[in-house]
Amino acid sequence: MSVLYHPGKANVVADDLSRFSMGSVAHVEHEKNELVRDVHRLARLGVQLVDSTKGGVMVNNGSESSFVMDVKSKQDFDPILMELHRCCYCDERNSHILFKM
């Protein structure tokens, strides 16, 4: 399957991926059917399981919106959050400052 990216048409890619079938579970041993179904459910929710270099599995939530990623990237530079962080870690006696912002 190939999915072509069309600038300005993000839903085209999402629609193509949602139609992509993970395949049949008929070839899987009976004992592992439930596990395979769980993996398929995660895939439909946009969760990706990625092999780790350390031999484990990492979980990547591919359904996170660009807006959420933008907020997360800027929260370290927000002056109010920086002051909140400073007050929490500097002196517990000044914690009342947090409520005056």
* pLDDT confidence bin for 99, thresholds 50/70/90: very low
* pLDDT confidence bin for 1, thresholds 50/70/90: very low
pTM of the model: 0.34
Which one has a higher pLDDT value, 31 or 2? 31
Q: How many residues does the chain have?
A: 101
C-alpha distances (whole Å) from 84 to each of 68, 69, 70, 72, 76 are 21, 21, 20, 16, 11
Contact 7, 26 (CB under 8 A): no
